[in-house]
Amino acid sequence: MKTDSHVFITGASSGIGASLARLMAGKGCRVSAVARRRDKLEALQAEYPNIMPIQADVSDHASVEKALHLAKAQNGQIDIAVLNAGIYQPVNAAAFELSVYHQHMAVNYTGILNCLDGLIPEMVARKAGHIAFMASVAGYRGLPRSAAYGPTKAAVQNLAESIYFDLAPLGIKIQLINPGFVETEATAVNDFIMPDLISSEMAAKQLLDGLISNQFEIAFPKRFVRKMKWLRLLPANSYLKLITKFTGHQRRG
């Protein structure tokens, strides 16, 4: 990774995306920072002039097209795209609310597709580029309260793996990011103790190390990821029993 790379980060107004924008800008990268809250993005620019705020809604294709156009006009071709924007709302499927499920898919999955539509043709043409897909360990398997969020992350994991087969041979670096619990606005709604919780600054540091590496999957923190990967191997019946026992989910109702 060149120190003056042009990095396009969605979901850069808070949490992991904002911490990554600061970290990369501090290293000299030209950062196109995308999100809906312009004031938060402008505050980042006040800290680092090499962060360019771009207000956009990733769930809106036209808005993403405009954002990519602005980013390229200001900073030239995009070297690295970190497709990080996402929403998380815990749900109970017993009180099913269709719009919440649609909204999660529109931002966490379709939001990524909207970006790919503008990124891929140009990266294919120059046989270079780097795209990192933000998913979550919550995409590995079903989890309590995760029926709206988890499936979007499982979809992103599958998408990144499938796309790898098409684009990696053309010289485009494809990576999948699977964090455990990170302390951000998104997880502030959780009413349970989050195991192995890390700060967004620590997450950004581990994410940047991963982006520099040649590993397809960037998963952190390691201790929590090891447990989640082990759980992934269990047959469904044993998995559901164990998670029910561990979280007390059914008893709480």
Number of residues that bind ligand NAP (CB under 6 A): 30
Is 164 an annotated catalytic residue? no
Q: Which stretch binds ligand NAP (CB under 6 A): 20-28, 178-186, 227-235, 243-251?
A: 178-186
CB of 118 to ligand NAP, least distance (A): 14
CB of 189 to ligand NAP, least distance (A): 10
Contact 58, 64 (CB under 8 A): yes
Q: Binding of ligand NAP at residue 81 (CB under 6 A)?
A: no
Which residue among 5, 75, 84, 110 contacts ligand NAP (CB under 6 A)? 84
Which residue among 8, 81, 82, 86 contacts ligand NAP (CB under 6 A)? 86
Q: Binding of ligand NAP at residue 187 (CB under 6 A)?
A: yes
Which residue among 13, 110, 146, 157 contacts ligand NAP (CB under 6 A)? 13
CB of 87 to ligand NAP, least distance (A): 5
- Strand partners of residue 179: 220
Residue 2, Cβ density class (10 Å: 0-12 exposed, 13-18 middle, ≥19 buried):
exposed
Q: Binding of ligand NAP at residue 150 (CB under 6 A)?
A: no
Q: Binding of ligand NAP at residue 11 (CB under 6 A)?
A: yes
Contact pattern for ligand NAP over residues 28 through 67, marking x by CB under 6 A: -------xxx--x----------------xxx--------
Which residue among 82, 107, 120, 208 contacts ligand NAP (CB under 6 A)? 107
CB of 235 to ligand NAP, least distance (A): 25
d(CA 141, CA 72): 37
Q: Binding of ligand NAP at residue 175 (CB under 6 A)?
A: no
Marked catalytic residue, from 109, 140, 149, 164: 149
37 or 245: CB nearest ligand NAP: 37
How are strands ordered across the β-sheet holding 130-134? Answer: 51-55, 30-35, 6-10, 80-83, 130-134, 173-179, 217-220
101 or 181: CB nearest ligand NAP: 181
| Active site (catalytic) residues | 149
Q: Interface residues with ligand NAP (CB under 6 A)?
A: 10-17, 35-37, 40, 57-59, 84-88, 107, 134, 136, 179, 181-182, 184-187
